[in-house]
Amino acid sequence: MTRQDGVILKLSDIAAQLGGDVLGDGETEILRVATLASAGTGDIAFLSNRKYRNQLQMTRAAAVIVAPPFADDFVGPRIVTGDPYAYYARVASLLNPDRTGFSGVHSSVTSGSPLPASAAIGPHVSIGRGVALGENVVIHAGCVIGDEVSIGDGSLLYPNVTVYHGCRIGKRAILHSGAVIGGDGFGFAPDGRQWLKIPQLGGVRIGDDVEIGANTTVDRGALDDTVIGDGCKIDNLVQVGHNCNIGPYSVLAGCTGIAGSVTLGEHCIVGGAGMISGHVTLAPGTTISGGSLVMKNIAQPGLYTSVFPLDTHDEWVRNAAHIRRLSHLAERVSNIEKLLKQAERRD
């Protein structure tokens, strides 16, 4: 079995690196990862959702990754592990190592700072003064790195990322195309009918192992820094306002909007298009459903939802009309309760 553009691993080699128990032929060669439905020769698939359990009987995968309760549902080679989904992610990384595609510094790069020999920097990149790049940093074409920026070892910037002056990015960060780190926060002071721009004097601090999606913006702080903790994963088209502090290992899904001075505890999750008002704090371990609006502090971890359930338009209009009258109805119920108590006392 051959593969022109990647790695081939035996099932036993995968288990030796990642753990798990191999059942069946450990010499089975694996080229790719695939779904149970689409897998074929040389593919390894996985079962992480029990509703697809019946596909174990029909898949043409060379091997599968399964949890112990399903180990006997597939008769072919398999790896048994407690968390098949996380294991699949690690296998995919083994089979598809990162490829820079180029090395060295392109002749069109302009830099006001010394660059390490291990850096790979593509065409038309601009690097300011006082920039500190770690070892093995990869910067693709068209990126702009402002003055006094630091970028840690092993970080990867895809084309057209902009990092404003004074921002700090940790090790092994991944910034996707069009991301803007350190643009001015939305700070304006009212002066009659005018708005006076407030200088944004802070920066942005991004921890280690952070990934930031395409066209996402992280604003610099007004006075203190905006902080993105270690291990955070931020999707495409996300807005993080100035002076936010996003706790380690938090996840923000696409189109999330976070206003200024919001604090998220460790391991918070915000679903797609979630909106968080300014100066709000979320407890560690909080999950916000997609499309929800958060307007007050959340002190206890848990799952929170503010989305009005989907319905036909006519039903939605009727229910919305009732919701608008809830305060009036509550007042009427309170008055009725008072009258009943008065009648009980007379009796």
Catalytic residue numbers, as ranges: 242
| Residues of the chain by 3-state class (helix, strand, coil), percent to 5 | 20, 25, 55
Q: Which residue intervals of the chain are DSSP H helices?
A: 11-18, 84-95, 313-324, 326-346
Residue of 332, 324, 243 whose CA lies nearest to 281: 243
Torsion angle, CA of 258/260/261/266, rounded to 10 degrees? 20
Residue of 23, 53, 26, 25 whose CA lies nearest to 37: 53
Determine whether 79 is exposed, middle or buried from the number of CB atoms within 10 Å of its CB (0-12, 13-18, 19+): buried
Phi, psi of 14 (to 5 degrees): -60, -45
Q: How many residues does the chain have?
A: 347
CA atoms within 13 A on the CB side of 28: 23
**Can you tell me the distance from the alpha carbon of 222 to that of 202, in angstroms, rounded to the nearest whole number?**
5
CA atoms within 13 A on the CB side of 286: 24
Helices 84-95 and 11-18, packing angle to 10 deg:
110
**Can you tell me the distance from the alpha carbon of 236 to that of 181, in angstroms, rounded to the nearest whole number?**
13
Torsion angle, CA of 225/196/296/245, rounded to 10 degrees? -10
| 255: amino acid identity, one letter | C
